[in-house]
Structure 1
Amino acid sequence: MSKKIYFLTTLLSTFIVLAQKPKVWIYSDMSDKTIKGKDHGTANDPDDISGMAGYLLMANMFDTKGIVIASTHRSEHKTSGNQAEWANTFFGEAYKKDVVHLNKNIGGYPESINFIQSCIKETAEKYNSAKTYNSLKEYKTVEMLFKELDKSNDIINVLCWGSLTEPAILVNYCITKKREDILNKIRFIAHWTNSSLHQGTIEKPWKVANCNEDRSACEYIKTMALNGRVKYYECGAIGQHGIVTGSPKGIDYFDQFKKSNLGKIFAEGKFVFNSVDHSDAATYWVLLGDWGVNLNDITSNGTNLMEVEQKNEDQFKLFSKSIHNELLRRSDAAVSK
């Protein structure tokens, strides 16, 4: 293949990717891991830190509409300080440094990524199944997503990395206000709010950390999905036991990431059992669809049959090394001249 044809092919491929970027909104329980707490010694499990760094390395593949952090119910967050300020410094500065070469070598990355602090961060409020949500005035980060959906002509993929309180409030509000048009533009993609294979059982698949966190929200939104009111793709534990379990092992491999700013955050966010835990990343890898598991492999009604979860887990294990090598390629591109 001549250099000219290669260039044109690459340019066309880039154009196609840019034209089809899925719109994404993220709800994460992520917070500064120096805040002391009971979850792995910190207020919230730091796996979302590695997951977010991976997302930022892949950010040219998505049209990011919002990232809400500290959407959680930890008492430590009543006085823990503004987590958006932390994230906009911690991730924001690393991203701004790396995006220069990422755009030179790969292209399509937004100049900056902004983070928003969750409206439930300080109150630790949980979804109330007995309540009708008539207003979003007290739930600013839910209202922000509602407004984004209201003006959008496309589906927005809401990635759920922890608590389902805010998504449940949104669904309740839309049903109360008879805004089915909004519900039709939402696609929830959740990590591990149900599993018969890991943590949960066949009898109690909901008995997993992310569902125990706010079970009323979990039960409500899954009932709405089962009734066809919303689309809810349940990944189960395929990120943890597929992508993470199947990953390359050893400090030598992951030290290679530390040459870039985002790569360093990825490698150090949560490094346990000789690899990086970024299990929530399953939600965006299934959205991309070319890495072993795609949305067609998962039902849209919130259910998660054991055999389906096992198949998807096995597929992610097969593709895990390719996924990590792609992240490493991008980390290297962030510092390559």
Structure 2
Amino acid sequence: MKKLVLVLVFMTALAQAQKPKVWIYSDMSDKTIQGKDHGTANDPDDISGMAGYLLMANMFDTRGIVIASTHRSEHKTSGNQADWANTFFGEAYKKDVVQLNKNIGGFPSTINFVQSCIKESAEKYDSTKKYSILKNYNTVELLLKEAEKSNDIINVLCWGSLTEPAILVNYCLTNKRNDILDKLRFIAHWTNSSLHQGTIEQPWKVANCNEDRAACEYLKEKALKGFITYYECGAIGQHGIVSGSQKGLEYFDQFKKSNLGKIFTEGKFVHNSVDHSDSATFWVLLGNWGVSLNDIASNGTNFIEVEQKNENQFMLYSKIIHNELLRRSNAAVSK
């Protein structure tokens, strides 16, 4: 019996070690906070994206999720967004995870959220500054500490502004902590595109780069010079996964049987489908859903023909992706 227990512990540890480690920076916030983005302070697409991620959470080793990493003035006095997320997502996940583990397995018992250090200040990256200490940037320091103790690559999924990743990279280069940068892999959604929002002449004119262009340009420069690994997805989530999805409430109402599926559908339902475009960052990380990291440059570049090819691939796989999410949503309520 003792030997069997040791074997099971070893197999569990091995399975966990094989899962990609993930850290998420999101501009997500409670969509009841009024603002100018679809009537709320921040685009609620990340809410749908996060629900989708939680339905896939057994595929990842989630090390941290930072939310409200945004520059919107509404957040200077809005409530604690970690408290909101830990209730909004936490309770839904807690209700669904029992059956998810019974029917699929490998899901962590809980997923926790922390509020971004820039949520209230709306601070933007200062390209003239050396960030030699992280005293005022606790959620940047949290990722630093996670990387310090990790023996594996941490995949930093960037769903919004690049301010916090830029501060961390600056800190590491200022303090000659290249060992930390060697353990980080940045995967960004739509911080560059010549096809959508941006143009060939101005590919940076997209939402997640306009939020803090200085941070965006700094990371792109460091990636091009080889200091960091940075995968630019472009708009392939929006114009591949989302545009290629099934359409209509008849299909998406099926998700509402589970708590996470309901959040997925209702987070941002527009144009007859769910907008969860940031999810491209974790689907490319999984690598077997049409587009993988091998299909994207690791130096921050995003050539138009590459983005178009990857967009087309995700378009082809989109219905399969959504059916997998639906399968998991159903598994969350299947006895």
TM-score category, normalised to shorter length: over 0.9
Q: Which runs of 5+ in 2 are unaligned?
A: 1-10
Point out the more displaced range, 189-198 or 17-26.
Answer: 17-26
Structure 2 equivalent of residue 96 of structure 1: 94
The one-character-per-residue Cα deviations of 1:291-334 (angstroms, maximum 9, x if unpaired) are 00000000000000000000000000000000000000000000
Structure 2 equivalent of residue 137 of structure 1: 135
The one-character-per-residue Cα deviations of 1:139-172 (angstroms, maximum 9, x if unpaired) are 0000000000011000000000000000000000
Structure 2 equivalent of residue 250 of structure 1: 248
Structure 2 equivalent of residue 301 of structure 1: 299
* 2:206 paired residue among 186, 198, 208: 208
Cα separation, 2, equivalents of 1:136 and 1:16 = 34
TM-score (norm 1): 0.95
Cα separation, 2, equivalents of 1:189 and 1:330 = 24
RMSD across aligned positions (CA): 1.2
Gap change, CA 1:323 and 1:15, over 3 Å in 2: farther
Structure 1 equivalent of residue 264 of structure 2: 266
1:73 counterpart = 2:71: yes
Structure 1 equivalent of residue 148 of structure 2: 150
Shift of 1:20: 1.5
Structure 1 equivalent of residue 177 of structure 2: 179
Cα separation, 1, equivalents of 2:210 and 2:270 = 23
| Secondary structure, counterpart of 2:185 in structure 1 | strand
Shift of 1:14: 9.8
Shift of 1:63: 0.1
| Secondary structure, counterpart of 2:168 in structure 1 | helix
Structure 1 equivalent of residue 221 of structure 2: 223
Cα separation, 2, equivalents of 1:304 and 1:280 = 16
| Secondary structure, counterpart of 1:236 in structure 2 | coil
Cα separation, 2, equivalents of 1:16 and 1:137 = 36
Cα separation, 2, equivalents of 1:148 and 1:15 = 18
The one-character-per-residue Cα deviations of 1:90-136 (angstroms, maximum 9, x if unpaired) are 00000000000000000000000000000000000000000000100
Cα separation, 1, equivalents of 2:312 and 2:13 = 32
Cα separation, 2, equivalents of 1:186 and 1:242 = 26
One-letter amino acid matched to 1:301: N
Cα separation, 1, equivalents of 2:12 and 2:301 = 35
Cα separation, 1, equivalents of 2:135 and 2:15 = 37
Gap change, CA 1:60 and 1:125, over 3 Å in 2: same
One-letter amino acid matched to 1:115: F
CA contact (8 A) 1:18 1:61 kept: no
Aligned length: 325
| Secondary structure, counterpart of 1:199 in structure 2 | coil
Cα separation, 2, equivalents of 1:36 and 1:226 = 39
Cα separation, 2, equivalents of 1:19 and 1:169 = 28
| Secondary structure, counterpart of 1:159 in structure 2 | strand
One-letter amino acid matched to 1:250: G
Cα separation, 2, equivalents of 1:17 and 1:319 = 26
Structure 1 equivalent of residue 290 of structure 2: 292
CA contact (8 A) 1:17 1:61 kept: no
Gap change, CA 1:14 and 1:197, over 3 Å in 2: farther
Structure 2 equivalent of residue 47 of structure 1: 45
The one-character-per-residue Cα deviations of 1:158-190 (angstroms, maximum 9, x if unpaired) are 000000000000000000000000000000000
Cα separation, 1, equivalents of 2:38 and 2:235 = 19
1:336 counterpart = 2:334: yes
The one-character-per-residue Cα deviations of 1:14-54 (angstroms, maximum 9, x if unpaired) are 99864520000000000000000001110000000000000
One-letter amino acid matched to 1:298: I
Structure 2 equivalent of residue 6 of structure 1: none
The one-character-per-residue Cα deviations of 1:223-271 (angstroms, maximum 9, x if unpaired) are 0000000000000000000000000000010000000000000000000
Cα separation, 2, equivalents of 1:139 and 1:175 = 16
1:162 counterpart = 2:160: yes
| Secondary structure, counterpart of 1:153 in structure 2 | coil
One-letter amino acid matched to 2:237: G
Cα separation, 2, equivalents of 1:20 and 1:329 = 23
Cα separation, 2, equivalents of 1:301 and 1:19 = 26
Cα separation, 1, equivalents of 2:269 and 2:14 = 35
Structure 2 equivalent of residue 10 of structure 1: none
Gap change, CA 1:144 and 1:96, over 3 Å in 2: same
Cα separation, 2, equivalents of 1:177 and 1:149 = 15
